[in-house]
Amino acid sequence: AQSVAQPEDQVNVAEGNPLTVKCTYSVSGNPYLFWYVQYPNRGLQFLLKYITGDNLVKGSYGFEAEFNKSQTSFHLKKPSALVSDSALYFCAVSSLFSGGYNKLIFGAGTRLAVHP
Amino acid sequence: GAVVSQHPSRVICKSGTSVKIECRSLDFQATTMFWYRQFPKQSLMLMATSNEGSKATYEQGVEKDKFLINHASLTLSTLTVTSAHPEDSSFYICSARAASGGLPSTDTQYFGPGTRLTVL
- Closest residue of chain B to A43, computed from CA coordinates: B113
Q: Tell me phi and psi for residue A38, to 5 degrees.
A: -125, 125
Residues of A in contact with B96 (CB under 8 A): none
Report the candidate in B66, B101, B99, B70 with the shortest Cα–Cα distance to residue B84: B66
Contacts of B13 (CB under 8 A, 6+ apart): B19, B84, B117, B118, B119, B120
Q: Do A102 and B111 touch (CB under 8 A)?
A: no
Q: Which letter does DSSP use for residue A28 in this model?
A: S
First to last CA, chain A: 41
Q: What are phi and psi of B97, to 5 degrees?
A: -90, 125
Residue A46 contacts B, CB cutoff 8 Å: yes
CB B118 within 8 A of CB B11: yes
In contact, B97 and A92? CB cutoff 8 Å? no
A5: contact with B, CB 8 A cutoff: no
Give the residue among B79, B87, B80, B77 at the shortest CA–CA distance from B118: B87
Q: Determine contact: A31 vs chain B, CB below 8 A.
A: no
Mean pLDDT, all residues of chain A: 91
Q: How many angstroms away from the CA of B15 is the closest CA of chain A? A: 23
Q: Which residues of B touch A103 (CB under 8 A)?
A: 34, 46, 49
Q: What is the pLDDT of residue A29?
A: 82
Average pLDDT over residues B94-120: 86
Q: How far apart are CA B25 and CA A109, in angstroms?
A: 25
- Which pLDDT does position A98 carry in this prediction? 54
Stretches in chain A below the pLDDT threshold 70: 96-102
Has residue B55 got a pLDDT over 70?
Answer: yes
Per-residue pLDDT for B110 more than 70?
yes
The whole-number pLDDT of residue A76 equals 98
Closest CA to A106 of A29, A41, A58, A37: A37
